[in-house]
Chains A and B, each alone.
Chain A
Amino acid sequence: MASVCFYFQVHQPFRLRHYTVFDHSPRYFDEFKNASICRKVANKCYLPANRLLLDVIRRFEGRFKISYSLTGVILEQFRKYCPEVMSTFDALAETGCVEFLGETYYHSLSFLYSYEEFTEQINKHTDLICRLYGQTPRVFRNTELIYSNALAETIEKMGRFDAIITEGADHILGCRSSNFVYRPPNCSHIKLLLKNYSLSDDIAFRFGNRQWSEYPLTADKFASWVNRANGNGQCVNLFMDYETFGEHQWEDTGIFSFMNHLPEEVLKHPDNNFMTPSEVADTYEPVGVVDVPHIISWADLERDLSAWLGNAMQSNALHEIYEIEKHIKQTHNEELIADWRRLQTSDHFYYMCTKYFSDGDVHKYFNPYESPYDSYINFMNVVSNLRERCQQLFLPHKREPLSKIS
Chain B
Amino acid sequence: MRVFMLGWEFPPFISGGLGTACYGLTKAMNDLGMEIIFVLPKPVETHSATHVKMLSPLQCQAAASTSGSQTTLQAREQEFPNVTFRSVPSPLEAYATPQYYQQKIEGIIREKTVQAATEKGVEPAIQQWLGRAEEYVHIPHDQYSGDMYSEIHRYAAYAVRLAMRENFDVIHAHDWMTYPAGIAVAAVTGKPLVVHVHSTEFDRSGEHVNQMVYDIERRGMHAASKIIAVSYLTRNIIISRYGVLGEKVEVVYNGVEQNGDNRQAFTRVGISSNEKIVLFLGRITMQKGPEYFLMAARKVLEEIENVKFVMAGSGDMMHRIIEMAAQMGIGHKVLFTGFLRGHDVEKVYQMADLYVMPSVSEPFGIAPLEALNHDVPVLISKQSGVSEVLTHVLKVDFWDVNEMANKIIAVLKYPPLQLTLREHGNFEVRRLRWSGAAEKCRKVYERMLQPA
Which residues of A are in contact with B by a Cβ distance under 8 Å?
20-22, 311-313, 315-317, 354, 356, 370-371, 373-374, 376-377, 380-381
Contact = CB atoms under 8 A, between A and B. Distances in A.
B417 A373 contact: yes
Interface string B388-405: 000111110000001101
Q: Which 3 A-B pairs have the closest CB atoms?
A: A316-B416, A20-B406, A312-B416
Nearest to A310: B420
A312 B403 CA distance: 23
Contacts of B407: 377
A390 to B, nearest CB: 18
19 contacts: A21-B303, A21-B410, A21-B413, A22-B303, A22-B402, A22-B405, A312-B419, A312-B423, A313-B414, A313-B416, A354-B424, A371-B394, A373-B394, A373-B421, A377-B407, A380-B410, A380-B414, A380-B417, A381-B406
A377 B417 contact: yes
Contacts of A377: 394, 406-407, 410, 414, 417
Contact of B414 (A22, A374, A376): A376
B299 interface: yes
Contacts of B391: 356, 371
Contacts of B406: 20-22, 377, 381
Contact of B409 (A21, A315, A370): A21
Interface in B395-452: 395, 402-403, 405-407, 409-410, 413-414, 416-417, 419-421, 423-424
A380 B414 CA distance: 8
B392 A354 contact: yes
Given A22-B406, A311-B424, A377-B406, 13 more contacts: A20-B402, A20-B406, A21-B410, A311-B416, A312-B423, A315-B416, A370-B395, A373-B392, A373-B394, A376-B410, A376-B416, A376-B420, A377-B417
Interface of B: 299, 303, 391-395, 402-403, 405-407, 409-410, 413-414, 416-417, 419-421, 423-424
B383 to A, nearest CB: 15
Contacts of B392: 354, 373
Contacts of A380: 410, 413-414, 417
Nearest to A319: B416
A379 to B, nearest CB: 10
Contact of A376 (B303, B395, B417, B424): B417
B349 to A, nearest CB: 20
A389 to B, nearest CB: 18
B299 A22 contact: yes
B420 A373 contact: yes
A16 to B, nearest CB: 14
Q: A315, A373, A376: which has the most chain B beta carbons within 10 Å?
A: A373
A371 B428 CA distance: 15
A307 to B, nearest CB: 15
A312 B413 CA distance: 14
A313 B420 contact: yes
B402 to A, nearest CB: 6
A117 B71 CA distance: 77
A313 B424 CA distance: 12
A312 B420 contact: yes
A311 B410 contact: no
Contacts of B394: 371, 373-374, 377
Contacts of A313: 414, 416-417, 420
A351 B409 CA distance: 20
Contact of B420 (A20, A21, A311, A370): A311
Contacts of A20: 402-403, 406
A354 B421 CA distance: 10
A190 B44 CA distance: 80
A377 B405 CA distance: 12
A371 B420 contact: no
A317 B416 CA distance: 9
Contacts of A312: 416, 419-420, 423
Contacts of A373: 392-394, 417, 420-421
Nearest to B302: A22
B46 to A, nearest CB: 40
Q: B407, B414, B419, B424: which has the most chain A beta carbons within 10 Å?
A: B414
